[in-house]
Structure 1
Amino acid sequence: MQKHPGIAIAIIGAGPGGLTLARILHLAGIPATVFEREEHPLVRPQGGTLDLHEGSGLLAVQRAGLADAFQRIARYDDQGSRLLDMHGRVLFEQADASAGNRPEVDRTALRDMLLDALPAECVQWGCALRELKRRDDGGWHLAFDKGEAGPFDLVVGADGAWSNVRPLLSPYKPQYSGLTFIEFGIDDVDARHPALSRLVGRGKMDVQGDGKQVIAQRNGNAHIRGYAIFRVPADWAAGRFDFASPASVRSALLSEFAGYGDAITDLFRASNDPFVARPIYALPVGHCWTHRRGLTLLGDAAHLMSPFGGEGVNAAMRDAVELAALLVEERDWVSAVATYETQMFERVVDAAQGSAEAAAVQMSHIGEALSLAHLREHSAGGVSA
Structure 2
Amino acid sequence: MTTTTNTTPTPRIAIIGAGPGGLTCARILQRHGITVTVHDRETGPDARNQGGTLDLHEDNGQIALREAGLLEEFFRLSRAEGQESRQMDAAGAILFHHVPEEGESFKPEIDRGQLRDLLLDSLKPGTVHWGHTLRSVDGPAEGPRQLRFTDGTTTDADLVIGADGAWSKVRSAISLATPRYSGVSFLEAWFDDVDSRHPDIADLVGQGSAAAADGDRGLFAQRNSGDHIRVYAIQRVPADWITAQGLTTQDTDGIRAFLLDQYRDWSPRLRRLITDNDGRYVDRPIHALPVPHTWEHNPTVTLLGDAAHLMPPLGVGVNLAMLDACELALAVVNHHSIDDAIHAYEKTMLPRSHEMQQLLDNGAEALLSTELPDFATDDSN
TM-score (norm 1): 0.92
Contact 1:38 1:125 in 2 (8 A): yes
1:257 and 1:136 map into 2 onto residues whose CA distance is 52
- Counterpart for residue 121 of structure 1: 126
For the pair 1:218 / 2:223, whether they are aligned, the reply is yes
Contact 1:362/1:371 (8 A) holds in 2: no
Superposed structure 1 runs of 4+ greater than 6 Å apart: none
Residue 297 of structure 1: CA displacement?
0.6
CA–CA distance in structure 2, aligned partners of residues 371 and 129 of structure 1: 42
Q: Is the 2:234–2:367 Cα contact (8 Å) retained in structure 1?
A: no
Of Structure 1 and Structure 2, the greater helix share is in 1
The residue identity in structure 2 corresponding to 1:162 is W
Contact 1:79 1:97 in 2 (8 A): no
Q: CA deviation at 1:375?
A: 4.0
AA at the equivalent of 2:332? L
Gaps of 5+ in 2: 1-7
Deviates more, 1:23-32 or 1:91-100: 91-100
> Secondary structure, in 3 states, of the residue corresponding to 1:259?
coil
Aligned residue in 2 for 1:35: 39
In structure 2, the partner of 1:94 is 98
- Between the aligned partners of 2:36 and 2:287, the Cα distance in structure 1 is 30
1:192 equivalenced with 2:197 (yes/no): yes
Which residue does 2:372 correspond to in 1? 371
The one-letter code sitting in structure 1 at the alignment partner of 2:289 is L
Whole-Å Cα distance in 2 between the matches of residues 281 and 254 of structure 1? 25
CA–CA distance in structure 2, aligned partners of residues 289 and 97 of structure 1: 43
Residues 345 and 83 of structure 1: CA distance in aligned 2, closer, same or farther (over 3 Å): same
Q: How do 1:136-285 and structure 2 match up within 5 A?
A: 138-240=143-245, 241-285=247-291
Counterpart of 1:312? 317
Q: Secondary structure at the match of 1:307?
A: coil
Match of 1:12 in 2: 16
SS in 2 for 1:268: coil
8 Å contact from structure 1 (residues 92, 375) kept in 2: no
Q: Secondary structure at the match of 1:26?
A: helix
> How far, CA to CA, are the matches of 2:325 and 2:141 in structure 1?
28
Counterpart residue type for residue 71 of structure 1: F
Provide closer, same or farther for how the CA distance between residues 223 and 294 of structure 1 changes in structure 2, counting only shifts above 3 A: same
State percent identity of aligned pairs. Answer: 43
Q: What displacement does 1:237 show?
A: 2.8
SS at match of 2:58: coil
Q: Amino acid of the residue matched to residue 68 of structure 1?
A: E
Letter in structure 2 aligned against 1:107: R
Matched, 1:49 2:50: no
SS in 2 for 1:351: helix
**1:58 matched to which residue of 2?**
62
C-alpha distance in 1, partners of 2:141/2:98? Answer: 59
Is 1:79 paired with 2:78? no
Q: Distance in 2 between matches of 1:11 and 1:111?
A: 15
CA contact (8 A) 1:141 1:148 kept: no
- Distance in 1 of aligned mates of 2:51 and 2:131: 20
Alpha-carbon distance in structure 2 between the residues aligned to 1:249 and 1:137: 51
Please give the secondary structure, in 2, of the residue aligned with 1:348. helix
5+ residue gaps, structure 1, are: none
Quote the Cα distance in structure 2 between the aligned partners of 1:115 and 1:13. 12
Corresponding residue number in structure 1 for 2:5:
none
Whole-angstrom distance in 1 between the partners of 2:358 and 2:266: 31
Q: Secondary structure at the match of 2:175?
A: coil
In structure 1, what is the Cα distance between the partners aligned to 2:372 and 2:361? Answer: 14
Residue 267 (structure 1) shift: 1.4
Which is further off, 248-257 or 93-102?
93-102
**Which is further off, 158-167 or 284-293?**
284-293
Partners of 2:191 and 2:229 within 8 A in 1:
yes
What residue is the counterpart of 1:70 in the other structure?
74
Aligned residues: 372
Letter in 2 for 1:371: L
Amino acid in structure 1 at the alignment position of 2:355: D
Name the stretch that deviates more: 31-40 or 233-242: 233-242
CA distance in 2, matches of 1:136, 1:228: 44
Aligned-residue offset at 1:245: 1.9
Deviates more, 1:145-154 or 1:53-62: 145-154
Question: Structure 1's 137 and 201: CA in aligned 2 closer, same or farther, altered over 3 A?
Answer: closer
**SS of the counterpart of 1:353?**
helix
Letter in 2 for 1:73: L
In 2, Cα distance between the equivalents of 1:253 and 1:297? 38
Task: Report Cα offsets for 1:279-312 as digits up to 9, x if no partner.
Answer: 100012221101112111111000000002x111
Specify the SS of the correspondent of 1:345. helix
- In 2: Cα distance, 1:242 partner to 1:293 partner: 45
Asked if structure 1 preserves the Cα contact closer than 8 Å seen for 2:60 and 2:322, the reply is: yes
For 2:365, the aligned partner's letter is A
Contact 2:233–2:274, Cα closer than 8 Å, also in 1: no
Deviation of residue 96 (structure 1)? Answer: 3.0
